Amino acid sequence: MYNDLIKEVDPCIRCGNCFMICPVVDLLPPSLKALNLLPLNLSRYIDFIKLSPDLPYYCTQCGECVLYCPLSIMTPRVFLLLREFSKGQALPSKIRDAILNTGNIYGMPNEMRVDWVTYAGLSGKVPVGVKADVAYFLGCMTSFRARLQKVAKACAILLNKVGESWTILGPEEHCCGLPLLFAGYVDAFKEIANRNVGALEHLGIEEVVFTCAGCYRVFKYEYERRGVKPPFKVLHVIEYIADLMKEGKLRLRRGKSKLNITWHDPCELSRYCGLVDEPRFILKALTDNLVEMSDSREWSKCCGGGGLLRAVHTELSSSMAKRRVEQALEVHADIIATACPSCILTLEEGAKGIIKVKDIVELVAEAF
């Protein structure tokens, strides 16, 4: 593993670009700043990890540094490898235990994954574990967090509206495994990938739709990279909606909104999956006032909610969210639209009610 690390950082020319643009480094106290110039400091870093195992968690895995590196060094991957060195860190190992024991990151009984249906007043309108063409994979956060259950509701309304043959997995849905990757537990990740793909295959699913950007990326790319190839189509709901609109199967009322909407590109969708045009296409149908923040598309700034940073260094994550919200205020946005549960919770906290944060599916469901 040490060799993998060295190989990854070997071409580094010490230009300092990664250091200059990393949104985490920028908020660290000076002593930690220097250390976090990772490719430069690798050997020192490894010594320090022994003393302080949460060091490699000063990274949201946002991937921005990769674009700024003239040699495309995968610094986020280096951080992941380093996390394998520091598996003892308390919180990530707790999350792993929760996932393996209960099937979700919160350690709740997995049967509770369907509770939102009742809260949303959709009893009888959400098929659970039936054979269908399309499955909606919620992910842990959307299944369990009250704020995000509204997103699930909007997505369910959308699927019913277009008359899709669809289902959720309910108790058979397991965490997608991304937190396991973030915490350096690759074997456990594979196990969980097999379980999820198996459950979907069992129901004869042809297309899986996601509202979670992280789950989507994992299904789309990371399962296969680790030898578990999904036999179904993987779509983020923004692709699903954009396709429906292009085929004329979904008409949206132009919002009541004279409101300015800005799109916050989740790292998982923009940088990791290249989905930058679809959300803008949808939003342009909803408003005449789509405004762009100074950092957008592939060059978007991370909200602070990724890579377990929020779990391990919560305050830092909040400071990052505040910065991102400031960018939205600078362009006079009334609503930050996005499509990632983690971005929603993090940004909403940073927004402190000054500005609304909405999932794009919520906006779409309001515009039928």
Q: How far apart are CA 145 and CA 152, in angstroms?
A: 10
The yes or no reply on residue 18 touching ligand SF4 (CB under 6 A) is: yes
Least Å distance between CB 343 and other proteins? 17
**Residue 69 lies near other proteins (rule: CB under 8 A):** yes
In degrees rounded to 5, what are phi and psi of residue 70? -60, -25
The candidate with the shortest Cα–Cα distance to 193, out of 166, 156, 231, is 231
Q: Least CB distance from residue 15 to other proteins, whole Å?
A: 5
CB of 222 to other proteins, least distance (A): 9
What are the helix (H) ranges across 36-145?
Answer: 38-51, 64-68, 75-85, 90-102, 115-119, 140-144
Question: What are the angstrom distances between the C-alpha of 179 and each of 49, 303, 306?
Answer: 20, 17, 10
* 8 Å CB contact between 354 and 335: no
Touching other proteins, residues 227-286 (CB under 8 A)? 271-274
What is the number of alpha carbons within 13 Å of residue 242 lying toward its C-beta? 16
Residue 313 as a binder of other proteins (CB under 8 A): the answer is: no
Angle at 172 between CA 168 and CA 173, to 5 degrees: 65
To other proteins, the closest distance from the beta carbon of 11 in angstroms equals 9
Residues constituting the chain:
368
Say which entry of other proteins, ligand SF4, none residue 330 contacts (CB below 5 to 8 A, set by partner kind): other proteins
Asked if residue 256 binds ligand SF4 (CB under 6 A), the reply is no
Instruction: Tell me which of 59, 156, 175, 363 binds ligand SF4, using CB under 6 A.
Output: 59
Q: Which is nearer to ligand SF4, 79 or 223 (CB)?
A: 79
Q: Which residues bind ligand SF4 (CB under 6 A)?
A: 12-18, 22, 24, 39, 59-65, 68-71, 73, 75-76, 79, 302
Q: Which residues bind other proteins (CB under 8 A)?
A: 13, 15-17, 19-21, 25-27, 30, 33, 63, 66-72, 74, 217, 220-221, 225, 271-274, 294, 297-299, 323, 330
